[in-house]
Structure 1
Amino acid sequence: MLQLCCLVLAGLLRASAGAIPSNAGLKPRPWESVDGGAWGYFQLAPRKPKGTVLLIHGCGPGARAFFPNDPVHCPDCQGLPEYLSQTKQSLAQGYSVLVLQSADEGSGCLSSSTRDGRLDDRPRIIASVARFRREHRLTKLPLYVQGYSSGGTMLLKLPSYLQDQGSALRIDGIVSVDAAPRGGFNAEGKDGKIKRGLAYPPTLFVTMRLGGSYERAPAQIDFLRKNGVPADIIVSYPRKVGPTYFSDRIPGVTRDQSVQLVTALRALGGLAPDGSVVGWVLDAAAEQAPWVREPSLWPAVWNQLSLAMGNHENMGEFTAASLAWLERRGKANVKSLLRRLVPARPADVTINGRMGGAAAAAWLHACTPRLRPGAARLVAALPVLALCGAAPLPFRRVPSPGSAQDNDQHPPEIVTIVLVEFAFTWLCAFKVLAWACGRGPLAQRACAPLPFAAVMLAPITPSAEGSSPAGSGRRNGRQGEHAGGAATLAAAFGAKVLLVLAGLAALQLDPPLLAKEFLYTLGLYAVLSFVMDGPAALISALIGVRVAPHFDAPWRATSLAEFWSKRWDLAASNALRCVVYEPLLEGRLVCDTSSQQGFVTRARVETAAAHRQAATERRRRWRMLASAACFLVSGCMHEVQFLYMTGRTSGGLMLAFFTAQVSLIAFETVIAAWLRHKGWRVPAALRTAATLAVLLLVAHVTFWRACHRWGITQSSLESVAGGVAAAGHVLGMNA
């Protein structure tokens, strides 16, 4: 587990090199040309696949346009926005994606014949698609194809070709992007009807308002409909270029960059007052907006400006709506699907849908002054809680039946699942639940949207007002202390990196199992602290929010109670305190401070005093029960985490580890009281050794046993190997 930090470090290094959040999870694998097939790239669905989507390019940009440039997974890819959008929306809808390259790599055009010495791409495409579906157990699931320009023309002619060749491959739906070939698509028989025996699939035309495809498509749609084939059209009109046009559509382009470019285009006469493109002045505008000249951005900007002009261009924003139409066998209302499924900001689309973290935080921040704690806030929080629960799913690839070999070669991203589940499914979700109940940092702070979002989304806990430095002995779950400024947190971050490297070296010595498990535990501490210290340093430096300690030298704990309440994973402890511990002690779930505002009366004073007295009595009776409930919830959350990682629970071993702490702490309390009664004073070093020994032995038969049994440890080590390679590659690239 210690070695997991390498992958986290690699991710941070890649982020510093310019990784784009909305492209997260895009990890194409090369598709080799075998037995005359076409080469390209593919990515399997992030969850149980619904089918296969074949994406075919047009003349010009090839298969490399469908995935972003990535020094590890696809150093040759260029990731044009509309092509990227097709890939991400297909994956987000639950489909495995295959993109294939034309035989003529010079022009990039697809061909449906051998005239004039051209290479017919159809046999190569058929061979590759059939092999891909067979190898990944997708033959019984739908096959949808989408092609642009010459690629769309080739796909429209493919069903007839399949029939002529006697191929068993069946296409379940076609999306033709700005392609409606002259003379039709070889589906018409001699009697003017569709060829006998040809089961032509539902077909959707996506065309520009300007151009020949828009003019020819209606007649072809009419022909298909008369022959009982569902067919429809989506028309794209010229776009208006507003100040944020480029940042809304190109991943990685900032709002300021977009405004700068649009201002230059307008000043040079390339844009009309209403935003219409009236001239091509991009080269001149690049002198005023030099960021456009970056190799990774120039073709993307060119692509989007061409799209705005309404020229012949690929379009990706309609992909989700197109797939939904095909899933319904062409019987759905296209306009209704467009209203629901076309993204407002295509740049924010991810393989799990649209980016929701910032929007979720903005939603809760807007609801705070409008909704009182209780049922109303809980209802408002439900979509956010669903988003938190779904956050790890893009990284949990469930293999198709019988594809165990593929899963062995490409295991689930254990490290990412652990960190995302901890940050969102646990910490963020608990903060949101506490907010709904009028508790926790989100409910107690009247702050601007940015600090609110930072506290909600980052794996941190802000310290209480008037907090003192860590180690001062304040109560309230260490929230009365702060972990220091940005420099202190950055130093702690660096220390965890050194700890990771030291642990890696120690594991190379192949120590005994118990020693390895001690290193794994130390590594778990390093991973979690590593991930929390980095964001905490940034938030402290940029926003000025003071952060409560995350860990406090857990190896120095002199008792189990001290270990869990004051030293280990204090962010999780604070979350449990707000949602479980305090409500049980107070005997109420909702803490609505708004009802206490107004004039102070004698009745209110007496009521408040009575409530405090009742709470004090309840605290004495319920403290152990509340602590037990916290351990129970923690055990359940670890079972959930195990489910995300492996697709199964640990068989109760994770739950057993945490619930066992209740009995151990109770026994420890009795022993400590007996020793005090006898007047015996046990040295701190001996108490620390006993505490750590008990924890490690219990973890050995429960926590780590589950990890070993279900392959978590081995998968983690394999993930680390990939992380080390990625980090080394990025460091070499940056050097």
Structure 2
Amino acid sequence: MEGKIYQNHTLEWEITNFIKVWVSVVVSLLYCHVASRIVPRGLTRIITFIPVMCLFLALPLSLHSMHLGGMSAFFIAWLANFKLLSLALDKGPLSDPTLSLPQFVAIGCFPIKKSRPNPCPSISKKPGKSLWNYLTKVLLMAVFIRIYDYSEHLHPKLIMVLYCFHIYFMLELMLAAVAALARATLGLELEPQFNDPYLSTSLQDFWGRRWNIMVTRTLRTPVYDPALSVSALVVGRKWAPLPAVFCTFVVSALMHELIFYYLGRKRPTWEMTWFFLLHGVSLPVEIAIKKVLNGRCQLPRVISTILTLGYVMATGFWLFFPEFFRVKSNVRAFEEYALVGAFLKDLFGGAVKARNFNSTIIQLPSVRR
């Protein structure tokens, strides 16, 4: 009984902190909205935004859960800060002068963008994923959670493969929920997140067009473009994308280390950094080979897909996923599922008992005195 009370108190405390964090985010973005209209772009605006960006780095330390804390850290410390950096240069989604105040705050917080009118009505947009697609992924996640109960009888590599798909499905479902809310309330659209990464035919295809596309776009203005300009002066325009890509992976590596520090509050081992540095070297090598070959030699699509996914998963098992297990993200995630389930059961169970009790009182026959 005491354990249940402690768990409920912990959940309520986390939710309270979650509300405080996001109220602070909204107020800070309101300040940035006003400042961007007054302060000229460039270094002066960056200095104006620095207190907010430092606050956004500190706020996730108030949260400790995998879901509320992890997603908040990603939205605040990563997305919001890099969008503010782009805004300081008068670029990026927040620089649109037609944004209303609620739209500015929502786009600053979440991976969403303003809907654009279709310039060619005769050409329909690519249809979004169907409801059945998301329902299938919910069902598969439920199956995965059930399979984890028998993890001691399964090969560890198989469990890691399941984690790969679990993380992908979870991210897509959570972002789809954000998209639905933004579309219903503010008429905003979700930024492209994933485009069937399991169909990638190269590392360039995987990182640039299929996996976490939103992050790629967010890093382009404040990281990739400046690195590209500097590299063009050193190695020329033809080869400038190679060091620019590497610089982008370096920044991504550091941000991933920060996110995992928020999740586990443990000193980094830098394995995840090595994962991104390895891909930060592999991708430019692949691009260079493509430039040299100029389309003269191409592998069959099936072979290239197998090699790409094999390389990503092998390096992920080696350097990326150990960090997940080190911070016990899998164990903590399932504990949170159980905690939320128990909380909802107590909440609705209490409501049902109260309703039945009231009905019983109403139905009691009157007693003659």
TM-superposed deviation, 1:493: 5.1
Matched, 1:386 2:3: no
What are the within-5 Å matches in structure 2 for residues 140-289 of structure 1?
A: none
Q: Who is 2:330 aligned against?
A: 713
Q: Is the 8 A contact 1:539 1:545 kept in 2?
A: yes
Matched, 1:507 2:148: yes
Aligned length: 345
Q: Who is 1:517 aligned against?
A: 160
Q: Who is 1:652 aligned against?
A: 270
What are the within-5 Å matches in structure 2 for residues 397-436 of structure 1?
A: 413-436=65-88
Q: Which has the higher strand share?
A: 1
How high is the TM-score relative to the length of structure 1? 0.42
| 1:384-427 Cα shifts (integer Å, max 9, x gaps) | 2133212322223xxxxxxxxxxxxxxxx223322111111111
Unaligned runs of 5+ in 1: 1-28, 33-40, 43-71, 80-87, 92-347, 397-412, 473-480, 589-613
Q: Which has the higher helix share?
A: 2
Q: 2:63 is matched by which residue type in structure 1?
A: F
Matched, 1:528 2:171: yes
Q: Is the 8 A contact 1:493 1:530 kept in 2?
A: yes
CA distance in structure 2 between the partners assigned to 1:483 and 1:566 by the alignment: 15
Evaluate the alpha carbon distance shift between residue 353 and residue 690 of structure 1 in structure 2; reply closer, same or farther with a 3 A threshold.
closer
| 1:267-299 Cα shifts (integer Å, max 9, x gaps) | xxxxxxxxxxxxxxxxxxxxxxxxxxxxxxxxx
Matched, 1:572 2:240: no
TM-superposed deviation, 1:550: 1.2
Evaluate the alpha carbon distance shift between residue 718 and residue 690 of structure 1 in structure 2; reply closer, same or farther with a 3 A threshold.
same
Matched, 1:444 2:77: no
What are the within-5 Å matches in structure 2 for residues 331-350 of structure 1?
A: none
Secondary structure of the corresponding residue to residue 369 of structure 1: helix
Q: 2:81 is matched by which residue type in structure 1?
A: A
TM-superposed deviation, 1:497: 2.5
Evaluate the alpha carbon distance shift between residue 729 and residue 514 of structure 1 in structure 2; reply closer, same or farther with a 3 A threshold.
farther
How much is the aligned-residue C-alpha RMSD, in angstroms?
3.7
Q: Who is 1:699 aligned against?
A: 316
Q: 1:439 is matched by which residue type in structure 2?
A: K
Evaluate the alpha carbon distance shift between residue 366 and residue 676 of structure 1 in structure 2; reply closer, same or farther with a 3 A threshold.
closer
CA distance in structure 1 between the partners assigned to 2:140 and 2:172 by the alignment: 11
TM-superposed deviation, 1:644: 1.3
| 1:281-328 Cα shifts (integer Å, max 9, x gaps) | xxxxxxxxxxxxxxxxxxxxxxxxxxxxxxxxxxxxxxxxxxxxxxxx
Q: Who is 1:620 aligned against?
A: 238
Q: Who is 2:359 aligned against?
A: none
Q: Is the 8 A contact 1:489 1:537 kept in 2?
A: no
How high is the TM-score relative to the length of structure 2? 0.79
Q: 1:635 is matched by which residue type in structure 2?
A: A
Matched, 1:73 2:73: no
CA distance in structure 2 between the partners assigned to 1:506 and 1:389 by the alignment: 36
Percent identity over the alignment is 24
Q: Is the 8 A contact 2:112 2:182 kept in 1?
A: no
Q: Who is 2:196 aligned against?
A: 553
CA distance in structure 2 between the partners assigned to 1:553 and 1:654 by the alignment: 23
Evaluate the alpha carbon distance shift between residue 537 and residue 430 of structure 1 in structure 2; reply closer, same or farther with a 3 A threshold.
same
Evaluate the alpha carbon distance shift between residue 731 and residue 587 of structure 1 in structure 2; reply closer, same or farther with a 3 A threshold.
farther
Q: 1:566 is matched by which residue type in structure 2?
A: R
Secondary structure of the corresponding residue to residue 355 of structure 1: helix
TM-superposed deviation, 1:621: 3.4
Evaluate the alpha carbon distance shift between residue 517 and residue 466 of structure 1 in structure 2; reply closer, same or farther with a 3 A threshold.
same
Q: 1:437 is matched by which residue type in structure 2?
A: L
Evaluate the alpha carbon distance shift between residue 366 and residue 618 of structure 1 in structure 2; reply closer, same or farther with a 3 A threshold.
farther
Secondary structure of the corresponding residue to residue 446 of structure 1: coil
Secondary structure of the corresponding residue to residue 546 of structure 1: strand
Q: Is the 8 A contact 1:483 1:546 kept in 2?
A: no
CA distance in structure 2 between the partners assigned to 1:566 and 1:687 by the alignment: 16
Q: Is the 8 A contact 2:257 2:270 kept in 1?
A: yes
TM-superposed deviation, 1:639: 0.8
TM-superposed deviation, 1:676: 6.7
Q: Is the 8 A contact 2:41 2:90 kept in 1?
A: yes
Evaluate the alpha carbon distance shift between residue 706 and residue 623 of structure 1 in structure 2; reply closer, same or farther with a 3 A threshold.
same
| 1:83-124 Cα shifts (integer Å, max 9, x gaps) | xxxxx8xx9xxxxxxxxxxxxxxxxxxxxxxxxxxxxxxxxx
TM-superposed deviation, 1:462: 4.5
CA distance in structure 1 between the partners assigned to 2:255 and 2:351 by the alignment: 39
Evaluate the alpha carbon distance shift between residue 632 and residue 505 of structure 1 in structure 2; reply closer, same or farther with a 3 A threshold.
same
CA distance in structure 1 between the partners assigned to 2:48 and 2:114 by the alignment: 23
